[in-house]
Amino acid sequence: MESPVGRQYKGARSRLIEELREKGVRDMSVLRALDLTPRHLFVPTGIRHRAYEDTALPIGSSQTISQPSVHARYLETLALKGTERVLEIGTGSGYQTVLLAHLAAQVFSVERIKALLDNAREAIKLCEVSNVSLMLGDGTYGWKAYAPYDAILVGAASPDVPQPLLDQLAEGGRLLVPVGSKDEQQLLLITRKGRTFNRETLTPVRFVPLLGDHGWNP
């Protein structure tokens, strides 16, 4: 990124990309998106110096920004081509929202905590992406107005797959969602083929709870 915010921490960002490469991230478009996205804008100012470590970090309201290698794995799994309409549940810091903005045509993202959404909106604005729409609300209902989606990513853990998200998947669309208990989950990849939803279990994961009517009771 050539803007002033993009130039800040450029060295640290390059080292993170190199580390992710060493950890097995191969998808060039995902690595490029990570390189274009200034993660330091998405963490509280007091811990900016840690923004390019491959670790999850606190972002306030008891929530965390995920580890970059987790985002990379999520995004590699989806193998986006750049033409997709994508729904993200749990905007959080907004970091993954911007990664998605570089990898898809349109990104819709829903967050239930206003303070986080306000911060995310500011940080996203500094990234100068124009294909992101944000909404405050219970993302377990999806975002019906813009459905169907070619991909849906849930960044919080649910006891079950929320039915509205299945309903809002396009033909051939893919849904990534961590499902399980509050302490540990399996990352599921669900692919829609007509009325059939193929379920693949990918890997054990640990996410904060998805709180809402089709998730955990808030």
| Interface mask toward ligand SAH for 199-218; x: CB under 6 A | ---------x-xxx--x---
Tokens of 59: 């972002």
Query: Does residue 155 touch ligand SAH according to CB under 6 A?
Result: yes
Binding-site size, ligand SAH (CB under 6 A)? 25
Site for ligand SAH in 56-95 (CB under 6 A): 63-66, 89-90, 92-93, 95
| Helix/strand/coil for 39 | helix
Query: Does residue 110 touch ligand SAH according to CB under 6 A?
Result: yes
- Scanning the structure block, which residue is given the tokens 């919080």? 156
Q: Rounded to an integer, what is the distance from CA 71 to the centroid of its chain? A: 7
Helices 95-103, 68-78: inter-axial angle, 10-degree rounding: 30
CB nearer ligand SAH, residue 77 or residue 96: 96
Is 191 within 8 Å of 172 (Cβ atoms)?
Answer: yes
Is 95 within 8 Å of 39 (Cβ atoms)?
Answer: yes
Stretch that binds ligand SAH, among 43-51, 107-115, 165-173, 174-182 (CB under 6 A): 107-115
Nearest approach in angstroms of CB 212 to ligand SAH is: 3
Tokens of 81: 């081509």
Query: Does residue 41 touch ligand SAH according to CB under 6 A?
Result: no
CB nearer ligand SAH, residue 184 or residue 198: 184
Active site members: 66
What is the rounded distance in angstroms from the CA atom of residue 84 to the CA atom of residue 107?
8
H-only helix segments in the chain:
4-7, 10-22, 28-36, 68-78, 95-103, 114-126, 163-167
CB nearer ligand SAH, residue 9 or residue 108: 108
CB nearer ligand SAH, residue 176 or residue 190: 176
Give the residues lining the site for ligand SAH (CB under 6 A): 63-66, 89-90, 92-93, 95-96, 110-113, 116, 138-140, 155-156, 208, 210-212, 215
